[in-house]
């Protein structure tokens, strides 16, 4: 009975260790999940708004194969990313790192916010002062005009 329970408890692990074949590479489901996570973060160089995982371009297929082969070989995620950046530059990363080249990109929301506040500030404090209140004579004239 204990043995049966142990087997039942380990059943979900089987799904995790399941062998799959993607893009011609055979790997475990865990490795495939890792490979997909990496490919999702990489830009397809051919159709530049798609990820390597999502693209049907031939180059994207080749890169998917390379990622899976490296995952099977036990290469770390960081090293696989470095492999891609070394060949294609940081443009291959869908989320580029903060660097002198990208600081304007990351700073742009804050710059836009600052510009908006600046414009509001200027508008608020550069309004012409309200006209001086009417003198007694002017009040009287106004009354007359309104009554007539």
Lookup: tokens for 42: 């990489």
Of the candidates 89, 97, 116, 118, which one interacts with other proteins according to CB under 8 A?
A: 89
* 63 is a site residue for other proteins (CB under 8 A): yes
Comparison of 9 and 104: residue with beta carbon closer to other proteins: 104
Residues 6 or more apart whose Cβ sits within 8 Å of residue 127: none
Among 48, 99, 108, 143, binds other proteins (CB under 8 A): 48
Among 66, 67, 71, 80, binds other proteins (CB under 8 A): 66
Cβ atoms 55, 17 nearer than 8 A: no
CA 108 to chain centre: 14
Closest alpha carbon to 53 in 75, 35, 30:
35
Binding interface with other proteins (CB under 8 A): 45-46, 48, 58-59, 62-63, 66, 85-89, 91
């Amino acid at each position: 009975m204990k043995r049966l329970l142990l087997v039942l408890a380990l059943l979900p692990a089987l799904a995790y260790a399941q062998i799959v074949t993607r893009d011609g590479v055979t790997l475990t489901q865990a490795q495939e999940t890792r490979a997909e996570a990496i490919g999702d973060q990489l830009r397809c160089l051919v159709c530049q708004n798609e990820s390597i995982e999502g693209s049907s371009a031939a180059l994207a297929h080749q890169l998917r194969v390379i990622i899976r082969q490296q995952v099977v070989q036990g290469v770390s995620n960081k090293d696989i990313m470095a492999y891609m950046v070394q060949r294609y530059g940081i443009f291959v990363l869908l989320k580029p790192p903060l660097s002198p080249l990208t600081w304007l990109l990351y700073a742009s929301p804050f710059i836009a916010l600052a510009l908006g506040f600046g414009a509001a500030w200027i508008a608020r404090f550069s309004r012409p002062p309200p006209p001086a209140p009417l003198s007694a004579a002017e009040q009287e004239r106004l009354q007359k005009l309104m009554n007539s």
